Amino acid sequence: MASHIVGYPRMGPKRELKFALESFWDGKSSAEDLEKVATDLRASIWKQMAGAGIKYIPSNTFSYYDQVLDTTAMLGAVPERYSWTGGEIGFSTYFSMARGNATVPAMEMTKWFDTNYHFIVPELGPNTKFSYSSHKAVNEYKEAKALGVDTVPVLVGPVSYLLLSKPAKGVEKSFALLSLLSSILPVYKRSSPRVTNEEVQKAAAALKGSDHRRATNVSARLDAQQKKLNLPVLPTTTIGSFPQTVELRRVRREYKAKKISEEEYISAIKEEISKVVKIQEELDIDVLVHGEPERNDMVEYFGEQLSGFAFTANGWVQSYGSRCVKPPIIYGDVSRPNPMTVFWSKLAQSMTSRPMKGMLTGPVTILNWSFVRNDQPRFETCYQIALAIKKEVEDLEAGGIQVIQIDEAALREGLPLRKAEHAFYLDWAVHSFRITNCGVQDTTQIHTHMCYSNFNDIIHSIINMDADVITIENSRSDEKLLSVFREGVKYGAGIGPGVYDIHSPRIPSTEEIADRVNKMLAVLDTNILWVNPDCGLKTRKYNEVKPALTNMVSAAKLIRTQL
């Protein structure tokens, strides 16, 4: 059972505050003297509460005069007659409101909820301007924290504050004080610059009204891309990652722990990329990947480079079998201070004349695989991530990357339980994806990848993502996926239903893969079908990956000769 108290007598055991106040008002002591008495009093109270073992210790229960007047000061709701000109409210304005001064009378005082405590009645009207003008609550919190006491700040709530107020002189008696609620809430507001980024908020809010769709339709885009990429029919590719070796993990770990220098790290990763590029060229794969050796995880890697994300050391969540992920925590507005993948993608592209896929995680997947702040709707956070990824897409394109894959492995995972809410979710999720790439040229090919999930009932949303090519994890449920196309869904974009299962160490034969591809060709047009494994290869070993991909490429080549 945790103990908590909501307030504490503030005059001091021997009315120390009373004597300090009266001496200050009489001009017998200075403001510093008064502040010193107040500071000592607060410290002794907090220590006393902490010493008594109270778990939730309040702060901001201290006041030089009255907590409602303190709130008036916090909100900057100083009646005009006190000639306050802005800035942090000091003793002179504060005590003038409480007690009047030589020229101006005090504000009205009345009894607090039928008790004998009196508070200073706020005077408000339609023209009252509010601004954050007393940081007392935050200052007291910090003061206690510096003493080692983590407190619960106590505030007069916004509704109570307004209902305890009265219409100012000259304002109609019937004035609805609660109509000021929306004006005072911004002053009350959860605004650390680490959480709030107004520029991002504005940009994200501006997205809602528009559709964000590439101007040209997908078949015309595919034609334009083919002219540039010149790929064979049934092009082969992989999903992104190549095996994560013990050595690779060691390099990343040691770089993170600053045991190896940036140069050493870059050269180790560069070597790995060049090895992966060589393997793919030898295998004769058509669209290459760099293998993602610099990434620990497809969400954590991006979260670490975006603002608004925090990380745990051991917040593991089981994914499947023995595999776990460590979801980041999104606590603030999301922005991308610097390019995240451009350096590696350009480096990888420079090693080959074949197209190299830029590899990104999409906004919906970053959202669904994180612990997400709950002080704003999820779609707003998702739009913010989408804008950050959009910048990355544009930088990759400007860097000469012609094929960009934006993984939406977890698109379906955010689907609400209630069917009635599906359409709304799918609408903003798919919209977020389109935001990331609506601005690229027709000749830039946008891929997306989705992991195992049920596609059939969301196929129209998937089409609505308007990617040029989608690779889908499918090898454990061939029939289910293909049935949707058999039932007549029109699909015009490129599609690569995975031809073998990467979650298993088993190596599929050429015949087995060819058989699968043929089954797909029975329902999908030849010119849209891609041949690829069903997910990234990072959990596999090279002695599994090499023969499996060899057979995959052979199967594609075999079928090309039969077309």
Cβ partners under 8 Å of residue 530, min gap 6: 234, 235, 236, 237, 469, 471, 494, 495, 496
Q: What residues from 434 to 463 belong to the interface with ligand GLN (CB under 6 A)?
A: 449, 451
From Zn ion, ligand GLN, none, interface partner of 241 (C-beta below 5 to 8 A by class): ligand GLN
Segment lying near ligand GLN (by CB under 6 A), choices 83-91, 170-178, 344-352, 535-543: 535-543
Tokens for 312, please give them. 């745990």
State which H helix or E strand residue 139 sits in: helix 136-146
Kindly tell me which of 123 and 407 has the beta carbon lying closer to ligand GLN.
407
Kindly determine how many residues on this chain lie close enough to bind ligand GLN according to the rule CB under 6 A: 13
Question: What's the Rg (C-alpha) of the chain?
Answer: 32
DSSP calls for 450-476: E-SS--GGGHHHHHHT--SEEEE--TT
Segment lying near ligand GLN (by CB under 6 A), choices 148-156, 193-201, 238-246, 526-534: 238-246
Residue reference for tokens 């980041």: 328
Q: Which of 64, 538, 545, 551 binds ligand GLN (CB under 6 A)?
A: 538
Cβ partners under 8 Å of residue 128, min gap 6: 77, 168, 180, 183
Q: Which of 239, 385, 406, 528 binds ligand GLN (CB under 6 A)?
A: 239
Nearest residue (beta carbon) to ligand GLN: 536
**DSSP-based three-state secondary structure for 331:** strand
Given the rule CB under 5 A, which residues bind Zn ion?
409, 451, 473, 535
Segments of 49-155 assigned E as strands: 57-59, 109-111, 118-120, 123-124, 151-153
**DSSP-based three-state secondary structure for 152:** strand
Residue 179 CB, nearest approach to Zn ion (Å): 52
User: How many whole angstroms separate alpha carbon 453 and alpha carbon 507?
Assistant: 23
Q: How many CB atoms lie within 10 A of CB 485?
A: 19
Q: Which of 58, 327, 362, 536 binds ligand GLN (CB under 6 A)?
A: 536
Q: How many CB atoms lie within 10 A of CB 352?
A: 15
Segment lying near ligand GLN (by CB under 6 A), choices 106-114, 166-174, 239-247, 508-516: 239-247
Q: How many CB atoms lie within 10 A of CB 61?
A: 20
The dihedral of CA 204, 205, 208, 212: what is its sign? Answer: negative
Kindly tell me which of 295 and 434 has the beta carbon lying closer to ligand GLN.
295
Residue 534 CB, nearest approach to Zn ion (Å): 7
276 binds ligand GLN (CB under 6 A): no
Q: What residues from 320 to 379 belong to the interface with ligand GLN (CB under 6 A)?
A: 359
User: Which amino acids are annotated catalytic?
Assistant: 503
298 binds ligand GLN (CB under 6 A): yes
380-409 footprint of ligand GLN as x/- string (CB under 6 A): ---------------------------x-x
Residue 452 CB, nearest approach to ligand GLN (Å): 9
Residues that bind ligand GLN (CB under 6 A): 239-241, 292, 298, 359, 407, 409, 449, 451, 535-536, 538
